[in-house]
Structure 1
Amino acid sequence: MASGEFPLNYKSKLTSTHYGVILICFLMNMCDGMNVMVISYTANSITSSWNINPSSFGIVFSVGLLGMALGAMLLAPKADVIGRKPMILLCALWMGLGSFVTAYALSLEQLIFLRFFTGIGIGSMLACTSTLASEYAPQRTKNFWVSFVMSGYLVGAVLSGLVATQLIAHQGWPSMYIFSGIITLLTIPLGYFFLRESIDFLLKKQPTQALQKINSILLSMKLKSISTLPTFDQNQAKTNVTMLFNADLKSATILTWTAFLMCFAALYFLTSWIPKLASITGLSNSLSIYAGILFNLGAFVGILTQGYLSAKFGLRKVICFFLLATALLMLLFGFFTGTALTLIFFGLIGFGIQGGFIGLYSVAARVYSTEIRSTGIGWAIGFGRLGAIIGPFVGGLLINIGWSVDLNFIAFALPLVVAGVVTLFIKSSELS
């Protein structure tokens, strides 16, 4: 910026405006988690109702993940052009309509298309909400608030699972898509009235009526308005993915993408196969379900703990510790299979892997400047989702050829070691 920095430290103190943005982003991520998991909750009912071989249903999961990857890479970057708020509202509309219409799918082909369509909106939402949260959170507590916002995904997945057990049993599988679609669409008016645009975006991009919008936000924070916008080279405001590989960002981009890829592979292996792996260890079907619940509960606590510790000890160090500690737990898992400690281990693994993984969103938010932040986060997520496709597939192959649980865990501990070590080498002036 040629004329200096923005004259007001509008992030130094959290106000109702800050909390409103953070809570709406949290709510949007809850809807994101619900719309991701709804296909898992309804898969058995759909295959039974349509008399489909469960193995043939795998393409539905795959195209959903493909849609999420494309949404993160192609749709999320538009938030650097039109703004964070419009893109978040568009994603909510996209997800809500996609989910609602899925209730009326009549064939596997229609379901495949609708999951791909819905996945595009799902994939973009996480990048946009993490970006906006990072741009409103105070510097000192940014890691915590970004992690808190991202934990909404997990809360939405768990709560919608509780709803699904009752709704599907009494109303059938289409009712779950109607429910998730309506709930998601209802967040749009909340977002329209209570979500604020990023001041960072308005300052750097300076869209139409930027000054009026900034002053409206400042007024809501009980801060003085400004008379003019700072000036800077407008050519620097142009955004495209090649900017992520500029000389000063190339190394950080490659390392960030690698960390996301490795974490996505290990995480989706675990979330996809936990019930199956738990049953292989000798746990009953009911206890295998509890293994999944404890994994997610541990994950929620781990995300918030990581956000808190990162503010004290540094983001990269805490992420590395969480991921390496999780890898160690996975290496030791084989010594405790078939015992009550198995459930505890699943909870601890969820605590570590999700805590470390979600921290990467904060890393990406700090690596990239305002004008390319959504693009940077979106492409990191999109590239990482290749791991989400590869991880469960490789895990299934290993299980089919007879690999034991402890060998599976050893195999997928390695990506976490790589991700943890790689994170330490990501360089940015904003990273501790």
Structure 2
Amino acid sequence: MIIGDEKMSRVQHIAIAICFLMNMCDGMNVMTISYTTNAISKEWMVAPSNLGLVFSAGLLGMALGAMFLAPKADLIGRKSVILISALWMGIASVFTGFAQSITTLVLLRFFTGLGIGSMLACTSTLAAEYAPQRTKNFWVSFVMAGYPAGAVLSGLTANYIITQYGWKAFFFSTGVITLLTTPFTFLFLNESLDFLLKKQPVNALVKINRILKSMNKKVLSVLPTKEIKYAQSSVIVLFNHEKIKSTIVLWLSFFLSFAALYFLTSWIPKIAAISGMSASLAIYAGILFNMGALFGIIFQGYLSAKFGLKNIICYFLLGTAVLMILFGFVKDPFFLLLLFCLIGFGIQGGFIGLYAVAAKLYETEIRSTGIGWAIGFGRLGAIIGPFLGGILISQGISISLNFTFFAIPVFIAAVATLFIQLKKEVAYEK
């Protein structure tokens, strides 16, 4: 094992930093539609249920990107797919800035989603393969914290850009920012050592030794014997006799968590507005939700490294379910904003831990495939969540009932996580 528990090198820190940066772009591109919901509704006179279709189109793209684009990272490399994903979602977001109809918006959100979906799977995979063994849970969670960080950053600028230049300018600027990050990835991100050693593509030895030199490690004179554990990197291998139970439970946990999470991320600004908040406060509700998520993810990673991953995920999600049930009893705007922040802390903190679980469950040869399909299947729940939320809101269902309804899948996901069987689930303590 080349990467053990020694002090992290500059190469590892750069890999983690770039994966965090690319996930920030993911977060920005996902939340653009949420932050622009009210502006689009007013300009185009669109009913909430139709905007639910726009949300779901983007999430369908994310699901397909995770299922069919992310697994290519097990064939051509993590870095290549990260670059493709960034270019894809950046270009699609720029074109969204020129949309003239709901139909065009639906299609462009679908294409943006393809890049978003594959990015999350590949960055979490690469982070897991560059992180030290002892702190792997923390670093995978840290990288995934880039997602809410990007959502917060875009939220802080959303009100100004939308007010001054319109909602289309917001999509355009987000796409341009995403495209500007790709040179950093191309120039400074190294391919996964695990991938190069296991897959041994053309010039693998040269690439491996270049990375090892930069990490001040001993170079290799020859490549190790190539072991072919899996004949192909396909979804079928995720259901072999060793993994079938854990794969099914992992997919269920992702599905239920995504359904609740994307109901919240897609509709929080609208729900805040319905609760009587001003347009500015409604956007800040989304910012606080993602601000809470940012701290929740990092705190979860820290606790998981000490007390075990699955237990911490369970506690975070159970706490979130309780907070969602309490939502209907809170009326004061200040406490509503605080509750949005705490719900973001809990659901994102717990949910993101599932990426680390998937990274530990699957071996190098099928890791991107395993994470990608878990995310992809989960995003089917994400499609249902916002769409169902739009219908419930349109039918006049109270906000408290909406939150109570979506607290149920969060509770089930919390319990289901405990039944995922990992080879080694321990609490790391010095």
Q: Please give the TM-score of this superposition, normalised by the length of structure 2.
A: 0.93
- Please tell me whether the aligned partners of residues 124 and 143 of structure 2 are also in contact (alpha carbons under 8 angstroms): yes
Greater CA drift, 80-89 or 336-345: 336-345
- Equivalent in the alignment of 1:121: 115
- List aligned pairs for 1:397-416, cutoff 5 A: 397-416=391-410
Match of 2:371 among 365, 377, 391: 377
1:390 aligned to 2:384?
yes
Aligned length, in residue pairs: 426
Q: Does 1:236 align with 2:210?
A: no
1:329 corresponds to: 323
Question: Deviation of residue 343 (structure 1)?
Answer: 3.0
Deviation at 1:280, TM superposition (A): 5.3
CA–CA separation in structure 2 for the residues paired with 1:215 and 1:165:
48
Correspondence 1:141 to 2:132: no
Contact 1:366-1:428 within 8 A present in 2 as well: yes
Kept in 1, the 8 Å contact 2:9–2:215? The answer is yes
Q: Which amino acid aligns with 2:324?
A: M
Judging changes above 3 Å, is the alpha-carbon distance between structure 1 residues 234 and 400 closer, same or farther for their aligned structure 2 residues? same
More deviation, 113-122/353-362: 113-122
User: Structure 1 residues 403-412 or 85-94, which shifts more?
Assistant: 403-412
Q: Does 1:418 align with 2:426?
A: no
For the pair 1:132 / 2:126, whether they are aligned, the reply is: yes
1:227 alignment partner, one of 182, 196, 221: 221
Q: Which amino acid aligns with 1:349?
A: I
Residue aligning to 1:90 = 84
Deviations 1:354-389 (A, max 9, x none): 100011110111111100000111111111111111
CA 1:287–1:145: 2 relative to 1, 3 Å: same
Answer with 290-299 or 138-147: which moved more: 290-299
Runs of 4+ in 1 over 6 A off after TM superposition: none
Instruction: Please tell me whether the aligned partners of residues 251 and 374 of structure 2 are also in contact (alpha carbons under 8 angstroms).
Output: yes
1:206-228, CA deviations, whole angstroms, 9 ceiling, x for partnerless residues? 11111111111101101110111
Alignment of 1:191 onto 2:152: no
Deviation at 1:291, TM superposition (A): 3.3
Q: 2:265 matched to which residue of 1?
A: 271
Q: 2:311 aligns with which of 299, 311, 317?
A: 317
Go from structure 1 to structure 2 and tell me whether the alpha carbon gap of 1:48 and 1:26 turns closer, same or farther (over 3 Å shift). same
Determine if contact 1:36/1:122 at 8 Å carries over to the other structure: yes
How many angstroms does 1:237 deviate by? 5.5
Sort the Cα spacing of 1:26 and 1:190 in 2 relative to 1 into closer, same or farther, 3 A. Answer: same
State the AA in 2 paired with 1:33. Answer: G
Aligned-partner Cα distance in 1 for 2:397–2:379: 25
Do the aligned residues in 1 keep the contact of 2:155 with 2:287 (CA within 8 Å)? Answer: no
- Contact 1:367/1:431 (<8 A) preserved: no
Contact 1:367 1:430 in 2 (8 A): no
Counterpart residue number, 1:154: 148
Unaligned runs of 5+ in 1: 1-5
Shift of 1:415: 0.9
CA separation in 2, counterparts of 1:19 and 1:369?
Answer: 22
Q: Secondary structure at the match of 2:230?
A: helix
Alpha-carbon distance in structure 2 between the residues aligned to 1:91 and 1:390 = 24
1:144-198 deviations in Å (ceiling 9; x for gaps)? 1111111111111121122232223333333223322221111111001110100
Q: How does 1:64-83 map to 2 (within 5 A)?
A: 64-83=58-77
Q: Structure 2 residue aligned with 1:350, among 327, 344, 347? A: 344
Contact 1:266 1:391 in 2 (8 A): yes
2:207 is the alignment partner of 1:213: yes
Q: Tell me which amino acid in the other structure corresponds to 1:90.
A: I
d(CA) in 1 for partners of 2:172, 2:386: 28
Structure 2 contact 63–376 (Cα < 8 Å) conserved: yes
Rounded to whole Å, the distance in 2 between the matches of 1:170 and 1:268 is 28
Question: In structure 1, how many angstroms separate the alpha carbons of the residues matched to 2:343 and 2:166?
Answer: 33
Q: Name whichever of 169-178 and 394-403 sits farther off.
A: 394-403
Deviation, structure 1 residue 333: 3.3
Which residue of structure 2 aligns with residue 23 of structure 1?
A: 17
Q: Look up the equivalent residue of 1:34 and give its one-letter code.
A: M
Residue identity opposite 1:119 in structure 2 = G
CA contact (8 A) 2:314 2:350 kept: yes
